[in-house]
């Protein structure tokens, strides 16, 4: 007799923006056909006065699911809380969670480079711990780099949560575009604006030197004093241009962040790979994507770009192999990876929940 469909509930503040919201929207679409899925919304202090993210709203409409706001109780076999960092300004959590297994998907890094706290993690975990009655509680990282910080935090914490034996990865199923046959020294980067998303200005000057054609999208902070920007930089504010059109202006995507901050996943990197570009990034961020990117602390950027420009066939081969590697982040691969883990250790009394 086949096992009953998994009763899965997603609990999140669906008003956040950026890659996390896009990933959750894709997740709703991927999981709805395979589970009895429910989606619950929390109005946290972090996203006060914001509206429902349009990507999540579209996913709910497409799957015919209702969003239940601020439920007094969430009951399911498995409950997944997305982005616990949204609770960092909360002092209470009125929603009660009753489940067999509770997973907190750790979209924000618990620790910064160097080991400083990324945010008040303990407050968010304590709120969820106090609000839940369940057999087992897990922290589910979204990437290898994210996992390292969660693991260290758990070892130092008094919280008795388990580290999930798998990563709850983002779905990145962008349509792949063919690489150029004639790569040039056209470099660029994009991100949401924010000091944490950009390295120091001196590093940017080294990464985008005068001999390169440079395009930067999301450089709102740089544009506060445009007179200081090099003349060969084309800097646009976030949202000023369609991402796909922007990426077609470049052949090399360089992605480095502030020294005291790292991406927990790096969805924008997946977009650049799908667009047919070679991505160069720091080794920590590169862990998520393995051979699909070039990992470099910075000194090797010039040699890497020169090598691929001199050998267009190598450029094209690297892009195609990178895109093939990204198939592991498809919606189908996500469901095939995640669902067996969620089905494991089902208890005999799960039907009572």
Residue 2 predicted with pLDDT over 60: no
- pLDDT (tens digit, 9 = 90+) per residue, 148-202? 999 999 999 999 999 999 999 999 999 999 999 999 999 999 999 988 999 999 9
Of 151, 156, 155, 157, nearest in space to 139 by CA: 151
The whole model's pTM is what?
Answer: 0.93
Residue 348 predicted with pLDDT over 80: no
Lowest mean pLDDT among 160-174, 254-268, 339-353: 339-353
Q: What is the pLDDT of residue 234?
A: 97
Using a pLDDT cut of 70, give the percent of the chain over it. Answer: 97
Angle (CA) 341-168-95 rounded to 5° is 90
- 297 three-class SS: coil
Of 241, 293, 239, 237, nearest in space to 265 by CA: 293
Q: Are strands 73-82 and 67-69 parallel, antiparallel or unpaired?
A: unpaired
- pLDDT (tens digit, 9 = 90+) per residue, 129-144? 999 999 999 999 999 9
The DSSP annotation for 229-267 comes to S-TTEEEE-TTSS-HHHHHTT-SEEEE---TT---SS-H
Residue 349 predicted with pLDDT over 50: no
Mean pLDDT of the chain: 94
**Band of residue 346 on the pLDDT scale cut at 50, 70, 90:** low
Angle (CA) 123-124-126 rounded to 5° is 65
Of 89, 94, 95, nearest in space to 44 by CA: 89
Is-contact 332 77, C-beta < 8 A?
no
Q: What is the pLDDT of residue 351?
A: 40
Between CA 165 and CA 155 the distance in angstroms is 15
Q: Which two tokens stand for residue 245?
A: 């059109």
Enumerate domains of the chain plus CATH numbers.
7-171+331-352 (3.40.50), 186-328 (3.40.50.2000)
Q: What is the pLDDT of residue 71?
A: 97
Residue 236 predicted with pLDDT over 90: yes
**Band of residue 353 on the pLDDT scale cut at 50, 70, 90:** very low
Between CA 225 and CA 247 the distance in angstroms is 25
Residue 296 predicted with pLDDT over 90: yes
Of 339, 348, 340, nearest in space to 33 by CA: 339
Between CA 340 and CA 35 the distance in angstroms is 12
Residue 42 predicted with pLDDT over 70: yes
- Give every strand in the sheet of 73-82, ordered side by side: 67-69, 36-41, 7-12, 73-82, 96-106, 132-141, 162-163
Q: What is the pLDDT of residue 49?
A: 87
Between CA 198 and CA 193 the distance in angstroms is 8
Is-contact 233 214, C-beta < 8 A?
yes
């Amino acid at each position: 007799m086949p096992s009953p469909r998994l009763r899965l509930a997603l609990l999140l503040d669906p008003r956040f923006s950026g890659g996390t919201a896009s990933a959750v929207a894709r997740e709703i679409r991927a999981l709805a056909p395979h589970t009895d899925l429910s989606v619950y919304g929390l109005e946290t202090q972090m996203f006060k006065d914001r509206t429902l993210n349009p990507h999540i709203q579209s996913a709910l409409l497409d799957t015919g699911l209702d969003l239940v706001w601020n439920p007094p109780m969430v009951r399911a076999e498995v409950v997944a809380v997305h982005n616990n960092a949204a609770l960092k300004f909360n002092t209470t959590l009125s929603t009660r969670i009753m489940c067999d297994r509770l997973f907190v998907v750790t979209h924000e890094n618990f620790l910064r480079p160097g080991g400083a706290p990324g945010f008040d993690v303990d407050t968010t975990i304590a709120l969820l711990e106090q609000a839940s009655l369940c057999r087992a509680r897990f922290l589910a990282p979204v990437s290898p780099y994210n996992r390292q910080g969660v693991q260290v935090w758990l070892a130092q914490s008094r919280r008795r949560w388990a580290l999930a034996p798998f990563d709850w990865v983002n779905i990145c199923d962008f349509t792949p575009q063919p690489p150029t046959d004639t790569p040039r020294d056209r470099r660029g980067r994009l991100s949401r604006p924010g000091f944490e998303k950009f390295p120091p200005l001196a590093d940017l000057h080294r990464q985008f030197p005068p001999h390169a054609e440079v395009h930067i999208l999301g450089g709102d902070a740089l544009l506060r004093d445009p007179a200081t920007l090099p003349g060969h930089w084309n800097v646009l504010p976030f949202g000023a241009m369609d991402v796909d059109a922007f990426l077609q202006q470049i052949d090399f995507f360089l992605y480095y962040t502030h020294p005291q901050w790292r991406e927990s996943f790096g969805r924008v990197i997946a977009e650049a790979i799908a667009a047919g570009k070679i991505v160069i990034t720091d080794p920590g961020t590169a862990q998520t994507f393995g051979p699909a990117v070039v990992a470099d602390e910075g000194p090797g950027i010039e040699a890497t770009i020169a090598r691929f420009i001199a050998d267009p066939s190598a450029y094209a081969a690297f892009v195609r192999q990178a895109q093939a590697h990204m198939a592991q982040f498809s919606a189908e691969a996500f469901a095939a990876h995640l669902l067996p883990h969620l089905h494991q250790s089902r208890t005999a009394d799960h039907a009572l929940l």
